[in-house]
Amino acid sequence: MVRTRFAPSPSGYLHIGGVRTALYAWLYAKNQDGKFLIRVEDTDIERSSKESVVSILEGMQWLGLKEDEEIIFQSDRFDIYKERSKELISDGKAYQCDCTQERLNDIRKQQINNGENPHYDGHCRDRAGGIDENHVVRFKSDRSQSVIITDQVFGQVEVGGDELDDFIIMRSNGAPTYHFAVVIDDFDSGITHVIRGDDHLKNSAKHIQLMQSLGYPVPCFVHLPMILGPDGSRLSKRHGAMNVLHYKDEGYSPEAILNYLVRLGWSKGDQEIFSIEEMIDAFNLSSINKASAKFDIEKLLWVNQQHLMSTSNQKLLHMLNEHPELTASVNQDTALNFIEAYKNRANTINDLVVNCNDLFSEPIKYDQSSAEKFLKPNILNPMIDVHESLKEIEWNKESISESLKTVCKKHEIGFGKIGQPIRIAVTGGTQSPSIDQTLILLEQSTVIDRIGAAVDYIKKISN
């Protein structure tokens, strides 16, 4: 039975790179009918915060990356780590060390001078026990041979004995280090596949040494190449929003984010658009790319648009109604017609909210530069006629088109000449579906009032 986990350190928010790691671990568990766990790695008391835990878990929940078992907090397990470190000490596989920082600095300098990799010199290894508990515990590392990491993505990776060290497993304040806690927790949780960022690839050598000393089986390692910014450097805050909840606020859908991220480092032929079910069915470890991928916000927007277009109008209506920024009050049938007319033009649900507010709120606010460009004196007479003729007709698309054509013919102008002025009059801007499609979304009287207001506006600027 496959068991995977996502193990965030709560010292910040859930960022795009973390989401991809979580997604791959989740997808693989789902694909294999296994279990996906979440473990909060909050052993670093100074850097961890409650807000960060809440924000990360909120992100996971929003994305639908749900844990199959109760969330584990490392801060609840300090007794267990202490217990296991004592076992290692009594087995002669770890030892307490009370070397001063000064001494450690000195040996470090010496080793660097000798051209060696800095490492602990083993000074406290064989001293008789009995130093008090407030000292660090070091793991007795075998530096005589290299460790081979077998990784699903990177293949066989050798870490030389000279790169190994008697690293610290327990701090003097009683907290375990990451290396110690991760090994114990992955074992206790029965994790079969350790899926994480490749910044931890080399750490796996330490973990393998620890696992062997503790008598634990070595899980399958899957290290994911990092995500780069558009400029090829490591993705960071300066590349724009990293917090996944930012995308929630911007109106992206969780499915689209996951779809975009699944393709960032994994592929199935040329397929770009996946539903969640398709991702689960298709996901495998063997198609993960070894090369790092670049984050591309334009593509994310495109993927979001593709998902939005294939979302049912009913579901979009529901999303629209739930949206905190929606101020326009509009009846549900009209809203459905609005969605049908506008959904192919929107990239995000927020675009639909903005369009809906623009169209259905009074008074219409003109986009200033568009108004200056199109609501000009030369269009006054045709607009007066549009105003008059729309009063006469039955309110349907065909009649709207007919009467506008008649106005154009009378003034010997192309439809393009009145199209934008009408759009601005009715929506405030120049972006909307076709004129008849746009007007029909509104009540006849509303359209007439708005065209009338535009006529007044043109008269005013003509004086």
By CB under 6 A, name the binding residues for ligand GLU: 7-9, 41, 182, 196, 200
Under 8 Å between Cβ of 267 and 289: yes
DSSP conformation letters of 136-182: EEEE---TTS-EEEEETTTEEEEE-GGG----EEE-TTSPBPHHHHH
Q: Which does 124 bind (CB under 5 to 8 A by kind): Zn ion, ligand GLU, none?
A: Zn ion
Decide whether 179 or 450 has the Cβ nearer to ligand GLU.
179
- Pairing between β-strand 293-294 and β-strand 227-228 as defined by DSSP bridges: parallel
Question: In 3D, which of 19, 3, 21 has the Cα closest to residue 57?
Answer: 19
Q: Which does 99 bind (CB under 5 to 8 A by kind): ligand GLU, Zn ion, none?
A: Zn ion
Q: Which two tokens mark 391? A: 């009063």
Contact pattern for Zn ion over residues 284 through 313, marking x by CB under 5 A: ------------------------------
Q: How far is the CB of 80 from Zn ion (least distance, A)?
A: 25
Phi, psi (degrees; rounded to nearest 5) at 416: -55, -30
Phi, psi (degrees; rounded to nearest 5) at 109: -60, -45
Q: Which does 9 bind (CB under 5 to 8 A by kind): ligand GLU, Zn ion, none?
A: ligand GLU
Decide whether 285 or 301 has the Cβ nearer to ligand GLU.
285
Q: Which does 7 bind (CB under 5 to 8 A by kind): ligand GLU, Zn ion, none?
A: ligand GLU
- Residue type present at position 426: V
Decide whether 37 or 364 has the Cβ nearer to ligand GLU.
37
Q: How far is the CB of 5 from ligand GLU (least distance, A)?
A: 7
CA atoms within 13 A on the CB side of 48: 18
Phi, psi (degrees; rounded to nearest 5) at 449: -60, -40
Decide whether 226 or 317 has the Cβ nearer to ligand GLU.
226
124 binds Zn ion (CB under 5 A): yes
Cα(199)–Cα(195) distance, integer angstroms: 12
Indicate the helix (H) or strand (E) that contains 424: helix 415-427
273 binds Zn ion (CB under 5 A): no
Q: How far is the CB of 163 from Zn ion (least distance, A)?
A: 20
Q: Which two tokens mark 85? A: 């470190």
Using Cβ positions, the residue closest to ligand GLU within the complex turns out to be 196
Q: Which does 41 bind (CB under 5 to 8 A by kind): ligand GLU, Zn ion, none?
A: ligand GLU
Q: How far is the CB of 200 from ligand GLU (least distance, A)?
A: 5
97 binds Zn ion (CB under 5 A): yes
Q: How far is the CB of 222 from ligand GLU (least distance, A)?
A: 10
Q: In 10 A of CB 244, how many CB atoms?
A: 25
Q: Which two tokens mark 341? A: 């007319």
Decide whether 157 or 317 has the Cβ nearer to ligand GLU.
157
Q: How far is the CB of 432 from ligand GLU (least distance, A)?
A: 46
Under 8 Å between Cβ of 460 and 383: no
Q: Which stretch binds Zn ion (CB under 5 A): 49-57, 123-131, 197-205, 389-397?
A: 123-131
Q: Which does 39 bind (CB under 5 to 8 A by kind): Zn ion, ligand GLU, none?
A: none
Q: Candidates 99, 285, 354, 384: give the one binding Zn ion (CB under 5 A).
A: 99
Cα(414)–Cα(240) distance, integer angstroms: 44
Taking the CA atoms of 48, 50, 52 and 54 in sequence, report the sign of the dihedral they define.
Answer: positive
Question: In 3D, which of 5, 132, 137 has the Cα closest to residue 84?
Answer: 137
